[in-house]
Amino acid sequence: MLASKVIERYQAFCPPSLSMEGDVSGLQIGTLNKDIQTVMVALDIRETTVAEAIDKKVDLIIVKHAPIFRPLKDLVADDLQTKICLDLIKHDIAVYVSHTDIDVVSGGLNDWFCDLLDIKDTDYLHETQEGHGLGRIGRVEQQTLEELALKVKRVFGLDAVRLVTYGHQAQQYVERVAICGGSGGSFYKAALAKAADVYITGDIYYHTAQEMLTQGLLAIDPGHHIEVLFVEKIAQELQKWKIEEGWDITIEASTVSTNPFRHV
């Protein structure tokens, strides 16, 4: 079957029109006008991902983070970063990027986070277009910041989370929770405007954390890599569509870790 048929079904679930302005989404490497046998879902395209795709004879990768996020100046094989793209081209592996569209779409990544953390009665955090928005805000059963942080750590299988709090506030009760996958620090004012007690997002900068606390907002930073949930969930969706549509293809979920951070 054609790769375009898979992406057509994916876009029916997650329209690329939901992507935020200036985002890198859509087909980035290769062609969809080709027959495929194996589709893989990944969070990132790194050298380990490419090696895995080659080993599994993958024809199409659906990925959250674009392998080309900044303009390339050249395509030189001696450069290990550009070699990643060259190896994909050499092995005829197409790459389709689904970045902020899967964050925004109803029933997408931020809603999956809410399901895992029992965040109820949700609304979007930051409106991106009429009727759609990035991040979510809702309510949890009243608990301390520390209790919620430990739940985040457990649910996502993390070795640590960072708390944005002055020490004594770890036992402060929270109920209204905002969440945004990836690097959502710039949206903390939206969390404040919607009366969040705590904001869960990754890659919070030092001075941004100080500003949050000055304005009365606590935060939990579980890191960017919790977005790896994308892999499991999209692979499940593809398996479901495979049955519904009668696709004769193999669906693979990437099993290599692309998380560059460890805590000791």
Q: Is 55 annotated as a binding residue?
A: no
Q: Is 126 annotated as a binding residue?
A: no
CA distance 197 to 188: 11
Residue in 175, 167, 159, 133 with CA at minimum distance from that of residue 223 = 159
Q: Is 263 annotated as a binding residue?
A: no
Could you tell me the two tokens for 38?
């194996």
Question: Residue for token digits 């949930």?
Answer: 229
Evaluate whether 41 touches 69 at the Cβ level (below 8 Å): no
HSE-up (13 A, CA, CB side) for residue 191: 28
Following DSSP, what letter does each residue of 162-227 receive, concatenated?
Answer: EEES-GGGGG-EEEEEEEEEEE-GGGHHHHHHTT-SEEEEE---HHHHHHHHHTT-EEEE--GGGG
Q: Is 103 annotated as a binding residue?
A: yes
Q: Which residue positions form the known binding site?
A: 65, 103, 224, 227
Q: Which residue positions form the known binding site for a divalent metal cation?
A: 65, 103, 224, 227
